[in-house]
Amino acid sequence: MRIRREKEEVGMRISFIRHGATAGNLEHRYVGATEEDLTEEAAGELCAARGQYPLPDCVFSSPMKRCIQTAGLLFPELRPELCADLRECAFGEFEYKNYQELCGDRRYQAWIDSGGTLAFPGGESRDTFSDRCCAAFEACCQSVYEQRIKSAAFVVHGGTIMAILERFARPQRGYFDWQVANAHGYVCELLGDAWEGLSLRVISGLPFEAGNRME
């Protein structure tokens, strides 16, 4: 992992960035384990907006191609550290299907009726998924502390961001309250530590645009 450092001392900052759009995203599919490239349009938009994302000292990424590509376009001078447990939820038998293809499936209706908490058939439950993502995030934060790094970016999936912020953001909000569009996310201040318990104060939305400041 290559690290970029600034001379000035700043508070710990964590950026969460959802990867750019893929074909499956544009068709509103459940894209979990499916490997897809970013669309050409999404790649171009990320390059054009690069200056609207804070440059971190280090980058953590899901191992999925769409996240690695996004990290490379936004932070070409940094090599991301891949973390397998930051990958998207395992959607099981619903993988790469959308609402139109699932609307007649009783199992899908049961999942909707549960508020999205039931396990996907052959996949993960929200609790299992959230526990996995949050444990991975805590491990990454421990690495950041040990290396005395001042800022880090997490280039991951929408569900991963939702799971982490539902658990650690203060004041607390629900899982679906943290939904973000492709290539969007949040800048947070990291509070506490692995022994006291981590928490995150959300400072702004990403990319930096008018009206995205939250403090």
Q: What is the pLDDT of residue 211?
A: 44
pLDDT tens over the chain, length 215 residues: 433 433 333 458 999 999 999 999 999 999 999 999 999 999 999 999 999 999 999 999 999 999 999 999 999 999 999 999 999 999 999 999 999 999 999 999 999 999 999 999 999 999 999 999 999 999 999 999 889 899 999 999 999 999 999 999 999 999 999 999 999 999 999 987 656 788 999 999 999 864 444 34
Q: What is the pLDDT of residue 205?
A: 96
The DSSP annotation for the chain comes to ------SS----EEEEEEPPPBHHHHTTB--SS---PBPHHHHHHHHHTGGGSPPPSEEEE-SSHHHHHHHHHH-TTSPPEE-GGGSPP--GGGTT-BHHHHTT-HHHHHHHHTTS-SPPTTS--HHHHHHHHHHHHHHHHHHHHHTT-SEEEEEE-HHHHHHHHHHHBSS---GGGG---TT-EEEEEEES-TTT--EEEEEEEES--TT-B--
Q: What is the pLDDT of residue 210?
A: 43
Q: What is the pLDDT of residue 214?
A: 39
Q: What is the pLDDT of residue 11?
A: 55
Q: What is the pLDDT of residue 12?
A: 86
CATH no., domain 13-206: 3.40.50.1240
